[in-house]
C-alpha cells in the first residue's frame, strides 16, 4: 500500500544523491555529519546498517554469519534506491570501491543527480588514523572485525560530478566549497 502511494504521487524533481566515499580511515563519517544537517538531507551510512545487525545479533562481526556484509550492503542499496526513486534527496556514505557502487547505484544513473565526494589522504596518515581508531574505539573492531588496511582504493567512475577532498588536515577544498558542490552550485558562484 505504501509503495503504491509513493508511485502514484506527483513526481518530484530529480533528487540529489550525494555519495561520500573513500577508503577506511579517510574521514567519510566525520564529513558526512558536517554535510547532512546544513544540506537538510537524511544520511544513510552503511556502517549504521551494519551496527543494527550487530545489535540484533548481540555479538560482533566475527560471530555473524559469513554473508552478513553482503546482506547489509543489499539492504543499504535497496533503501538508497527506494528513496531516490521516490524523489527523496539523500546523502549516502560507505567505503565501497567502484564495482560495488556501480552495481548498487547504476540503476539510478539518469534518475538522480548523483554527486560523488571522495575522501582522500596519504596512506601513511590513513594507517595512523586506523591504528588510533583501533586503540581508542573497541566498538569499531566489534562492528568490522580486524581486517588489514587496503593497499589501493578504486574510485567510483560514473561520469557524474565528482569532488576529491583531501582530509589529511581539515578539508581541502574547504567545507563551504564541498557544501556548494553537494548543493549543485556551479564552481565560482558560491553558496
The whole domain housing 147 covers 14-183
pLDDT for 18 equals 98
Number of domains present in the structure of the chain: 1
User: For residue 124, what pLDDT band results from cuts at 50, 70 and 90?
Assistant: confident
Q: Is residue 161 part of a domain?
A: yes
For 67-93, the pLDDT digits (tens) are 999 999 999 999 999 999 999 999 999
Q: Is residue 7 part of a domain?
A: no
Which H/E stretch holds residue 134? helix 123-136
Q: Is residue 9 part of a domain?
A: no
Q: Is residue 119 part of a domain?
A: yes
Highest mean pLDDT among 20-24, 126-130, 138-142, 172-176: 172-176
pLDDT over 60 (residue 61):
yes
Query: What average pLDDT does the chain have?
Result: 85
Could you list the beta-strand ranges (E) of the chain: 16-21, 43-45, 90-93, 113-120, 161-166
Q: Is residue 70 part of a domain?
A: yes
Q: Is residue 158 part of a domain?
A: yes
| Domain CATH for 39 | 3.40.50.300
- Range 115-132 average pLDDT: 85
Q: What global pTM score does this model have?
A: 0.84
Q: Is residue 189 part of a domain?
A: no
Q: Is residue 8 part of a domain?
A: no
Amino acid at each position: 500500500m505504501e509503495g503504491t502511494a509513493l508511485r502514484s504521487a506527483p513526481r518530484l524533481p530529480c533528487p540529489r544523491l550525494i555519495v561520500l566515499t573513500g577508503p577506511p580511515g579517510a574521514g567519510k563519517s566525520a564529513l558526512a555529519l558536517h554535510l547532512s544537517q546544513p544540506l537538510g538531507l537524511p544520511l544513510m551510512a552503511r556502517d549504521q546498517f551494519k551496527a543494527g545487525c550487530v545489535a540484533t545479533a548481540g555479538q560482533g562481526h566475527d560471530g555473524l554469519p559469513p554473508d552478513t556484509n553482503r546482506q547489509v550492503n543489499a539492504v543499504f542499496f535497496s533503501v538508497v534506491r527506494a528513496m531516490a526513486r521516490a524523489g527523496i534527496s539523500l546523502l549516502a556514505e560507505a567505503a565501497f570501491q567502484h564495482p560495488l557502487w556501480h552495481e548498487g547505484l547504476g540503476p539510478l544513473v539518469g534518475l538522480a543527480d548523483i554527486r560523488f565526494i571522495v575522501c582522500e589522504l596519504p596512506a601513511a596518515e590513513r594507517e595512523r588514523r586506523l591504528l588510533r581508531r583501533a586503540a581508542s574505539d573497541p566498538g569499531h573492531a566489534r562492528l568490522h572485525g580486524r581486517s588489514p588496511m587496503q593497499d589501493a582504493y578504486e574510485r567510483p567512475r560514473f561520469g557524474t560530478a565528482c569532488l576529491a577532498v583531501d582530509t589529511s588536515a581539515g578539508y581541502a577544498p574547504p567545507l563551504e566549497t564541498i557544501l556548494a558542490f553537494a548543493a549543485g552550485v556551479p564552481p565560482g558562484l558560491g553558496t
